[in-house]
Structure 1
Amino acid sequence: MSTTPDWATRDAAAPQPVPPRREHPAVSPQTAAVFGRPDGVRGSFSTEPSAQPQPEIAPPDPVLTEAFSRPADAPSSLQRDPYATYGGEVDEPEPEDPWRDPASGAHLEAPALSEPAAETARDAGPKLGITDLLFGRRVHWWALASLGLVAVLLGVAGGLVGRWTAEVIPPLNSNAVTLDVDDSTVASTDIAKVAKAVGPAVVMIEIRTAGSGGSGSGFVVDKMGYIVTNNHVVSIAANDKNAKLEVVFADHSRVPARIVGRDVKTDLAVLKVDDVENLTVAKLGDSSKLEIGQPVIAFGAPLGLDRTVTTGIVSAVDRPVPLRPDASSDTDAVINAIQTDAAINPGNSGGPLVDAQGRVIGVNTAIAATGGGSIGLGFAIPINEVIPISEGLIKDGKVTHPQIGVTASTVRNDQVFGARVKDVAAGSPAAAAGLKENDVITEFDGKPIEGADELTVAVRTSTIGQEVKYTYWRDGRTFTGTMTPRAD
């Protein structure tokens, strides 16, 4: 079957259909005369006027000419300013009249009466002299009498006030006054006596390195030049061989010092100065006899201000205070602190805390502060713990501490308060005593234990090789036992 379209088979010679011619309507002679091409013109334009009659345009109506024609004095532009007037007088706009405008707001206007005309300035007349005043009859006699009476009254009043001022009000200045000095002896207070007695035994400790420095306090404990202070005061000097360590005494004399020994677990250290004569040695007391509320005095150099004394009371005892390592100290200890409200600030560390009799009962060590300064919570290491540590450092340069071989964390819930055992070292005193993981120690060596810090203090203050009793909680039941701490 062929797919060729029909139109492709047609005969090309066959006649083709012609579309019908469209006829246009005839053009009227009038239209041809106006719009037709003139005779003899073949192109689009002709340079000669046409001989055929041309239509004439009737003149516009005079009214329209006046309304729409260009004024005679108008500029030669295609369009004139619609707001301009030509040939007429320009009326000035009338001022707004709020009385005739109902939409105007209320406001003040000029008064109804016209303003009075300004008076013409007149030349000043001749000046009135004293002769004219008294004899020229230009001032009435009663005016002169009144003026004289007023002058007399003012003079009398001024004299009376002056006399009263001179007789009643004392003068501000005087050359007859001398200041008396009382040179009689005044009895010193107890605090002043203690400050005078203990002050010479207190020193300021300065450490300088290539890139930093620091200061603290200390006190002399032996005439051979031994000085007790905190470990965190001298940590920088101990870890930097090029650091310069000096002791500044109360008389401002400076002496190089050496580190005898230090203990990071109790935050204590001992220094030594050589060739210093007539040293004042601090008297040591007994911290076990302290009572809450008794007065104490803190010595030291807070913020580098040496020979500073502050007072307060013992506000608490046996307060566990953890001291953790930081960028400037390797101390890692929990102290069984004396709490005091005597002002202690950075720089007081290592200085003595003394009682009213001038006996050292603690070493100023730490503060509790929200902004870096004292808020009335200072902490000191009891002197009864300082003495054995200091003696051990002076003797051997190091000390040992009791340990039981456990790590613990604080637990406080509705069942038990205490130190939960997290790990027990193999072969340790705790392992030999039968302690297990998750046991909670609630008492150790007669001291109640409410957390890990209390357990650390209780173990450290026990005696190496001496058996102690302890209480622990396991699976809802309480048990007791004994163990013997060993040296660390």
Structure 2
Amino acid sequence: MHAPRPTSAQAGAFGRPEQVAGSFAGDRPPPAPRPVPPPPPEALLRAFGPPAPGRSGLQEPPGGRPGRRRTATGPWWKADARVDPWRDPSSPAGLGAPAVYDDEDSQPGPVVFDPRGRRKVRLRDLSVRLTTLVVLGLLVVGILGGGVGWYLTRTADEAPLFTPGTTLAQVEPRGTGERSPVSDIAEAVIPAVVSIEVRVGQAGATGSGVVIDGENGYIVTNNHVISGADGVEGAEIRAVFSDGSGSAARIVGRDPASDLAVIKVEKPGLVTAELGRSGDVVVGDPVVAIGSPLGLAGTVTSGIVSALDRPVRLSGEGTDTNAVISAVQTDAPINPGNSGGALVDASGALVGINTAIASTGAGGSIGLGFAIPVDTMKRIVEQLIATGSAVHATLGVNARSVTDGTRDGALVLNVEPGSPASQAGIREEDVIIAVDETPVGSSEELSVAVDARQPGDVVTVELVRGGSSRTVEVTLGAA
């Protein structure tokens, strides 16, 4: 098979020029001569030069090789001296095969030394046989120790469970031996405080009450305690006294506007609570609360008067109570069931009827309890005992609390037609800011200020209308 002939184009591009006979042009410049290194110094030739002809290995030391001696300490008497490079520098040298171990795990590891040059013994340096012996020894010791402990616990005698004739020592009183004032107060007042049990069908409730007229069997309590039984057929109200005896009770009268009520029992010889005066109570006075919180009759707690004339709105919690009271605030613990119970001062005189608590939602005491002042209680109860109902002064407006950032007041939402406010010219959207020069900062304060008066009293009401203030005189009505 012959190669194809090149085309004229290929021959022109890759062919040999006609004037060139060989592979390369004849006028190609010759290569540059290589530099010849200078000979080594004579000293290097004598030290490192090749040995004389017929000799191998290193050169002879200066002065020639010493004669061979066959002594006990000399190496040249042994048969392998000529092949030992450490004995004969001129002997041949070579590498042997690597060491072979039967077990890969038995290969020796690196030797470790401590800073003082002593060899460290590690667990992996120990043999398998020694390690097995150590482990077996530990197991035997553990089994023996556990067996001995179990045997001792099984055979040891137990201490006797009972010790006849045992007496416990008591220390002598460290105090003066005087009784606490609260003890004297509780002893005097507890007989005048009763537990009130209300049953309507299958439902029941408990509260507290205070005997205010032991001769006639009158007991004051809160309206929301007994209102659910009023007018309900088959409902029962029962008063339970401190000696454990009980008596059925009847409703004398109740007042949802003040959350007060009076019941009557047919039981002679009741202990009557002594009534104090609201004007004698000051903030910081010690007080004692007595009642039946959570159904626990005769419970006594103590504290102080935290504030006076605190406007508090009472919702009634499912009853018809709708009241705003000017309360005595106390930090004596009060809980559900204390309602209607006594709040007494350091002399044991009644200064309030426990009515409400402030709570964070759990329903328990957080140190904010409220009581109806004794003067208010006396005024309402006397009306209930006399007529079965109570009369309150009224202005005839509905209001809510407002503020403009600098002044608070009660915004009039609506005015009842023909009411005292309507007759005095009070209009809707007026803001009442004072009653008889007593500042009014909320709708609750307005209710308290009006309720403190009697029907027919003439009061001066200051209000703001259209950005300017004015005063009007109002003759309070009755409700």
Return the TM-score normalized by structure 2: 0.64
What is the aligned counterpart of 1:339 among 321, 329, 345? Answer: 329
What is the aligned counterpart of 2:200 among 193, 203, 209? Answer: 209
Counterpart residue identity of residue 241, structure 1: E
What is the aligned counterpart of 2:443 among 452, 456, 459? Answer: 452
Query: Which has the larger displacement, 459-468 or 360-369?
Result: 459-468
Q: What's the CA shift for 1:358?
A: 0.7
Which residue number corresponds to residue 386 of structure 1?
377
Counterpart residue identity of residue 229, structure 1: T
Deviations 1:117-145 (A, max 9, x none): 9999xxxxxxxxxxxxxxxxxxxxxxxxx
Work out the CA distance in 2 between the residues paired with 1:119 and 1:214.
Answer: 79
Q: Does 1:437 align with 2:428?
A: yes
Work out the CA distance in 1 between the residues paired with 2:126 and 2:310.
Answer: 94
Aligned with 2:390: secondary structure? coil
Deviations 1:418-445 (A, max 9, x none): 0011111222111121111111111113
Deviations 1:282-321 (A, max 9, x none): 0001012211101011010000000111100000011111
Q: What's the CA shift for 1:211?
A: 2.4
Are the structure 2 counterparts of residues 429 and 113 from structure 1 closer, same or farther at C-alpha, using a change threshold of 3 Å? closer
Structure 1 segments (4+ residues) deviating >4 Å = 95-99, 110-120, 173-186
Query: Which has the larger displacement, 457-466 or 252-261?
Result: 457-466
Identical aligned residues as a percent: 47
Are the structure 2 counterparts of residues 475 and 416 from structure 1 closer, same or farther at C-alpha, using a change threshold of 3 Å? farther
Which residue number corresponds to residue 226 of structure 2?
234
Q: Does 1:261 align with 2:229?
A: no
What is the aligned counterpart of 1:402 among 388, 393, 416? Answer: 393
Work out the CA distance in 1 between the residues paired with 2:397 and 2:201.
Answer: 41
Aligned with 2:380: secondary structure? helix
Work out the CA distance in 2 between the residues paired with 1:440 and 1:191.
Answer: 47
What is the aligned counterpart of 1:321 among 296, 299, 312? Answer: 312
Work out the CA distance in 2 between the residues paired with 1:333 and 1:177.
Answer: 59
Which residue number corresponds to residue 9 of structure 2?
none
Structure 1, gaps ≥5 residues long:
1-94, 100-109, 121-172
What is the aligned counterpart of 1:350 among 316, 340, 350? Answer: 340
Q: What's the CA shift for 1:180?
A: 7.6
Work out the CA distance in 1 between the residues paired with 2:439 and 2:252.
Answer: 35
Q: Does 1:304 align with 2:295?
A: yes
Counterpart residue identity of residue 426, structure 1: P
Work out the CA distance in 1 between the residues paired with 2:389 and 2:444.
Answer: 23
Counterpart residue identity of residue 252, structure 2: V
Work out the CA distance in 2 between the residues paired with 1:273 and 1:226.
Answer: 7
Aligned with 1:348: secondary structure? coil
Aligned with 2:376: secondary structure? helix
Are the structure 2 counterparts of residues 449 and 176 from structure 1 closer, same or farther at C-alpha, using a change threshold of 3 Å? closer
Work out the CA distance in 2 between the residues paired with 1:225 and 1:236.
Answer: 21
Which residue number corresponds to residue 151 of structure 2?
none
Which residue number corresponds to residue 360 of structure 1?
350
Which residue number corresponds to residue 474 of structure 2?
483
Q: What's the CA shift for 1:239?
A: 5.0
Work out the CA distance in 2 between the residues paired with 1:334 and 1:177.
Answer: 59
What is the aligned counterpart of 2:320 among 326, 330, 339? Answer: 330
Structure 2, gaps ≥5 residues long:
1-101, 107-122, 134-162
Are the structure 2 counterparts of residues 428 and 175 from structure 1 closer, same or farther at C-alpha, using a change threshold of 3 Å? closer
Q: What's the CA shift for 1:396?
A: 0.6
Q: Verify the 8 A CA contact 1:445 1:462 in the aligned structure 2.
A: no
Counterpart residue identity of residue 417, structure 2: A
Work out the CA distance in 1 between the residues paired with 2:129 and 2:187.
Answer: 93
Work out the CA distance in 1 between the residues paired with 2:168 and 2:132.
Answer: 71
Work out the CA distance in 1 between the residues paired with 2:131 and 2:287.
Answer: 90
Aligned length: 332
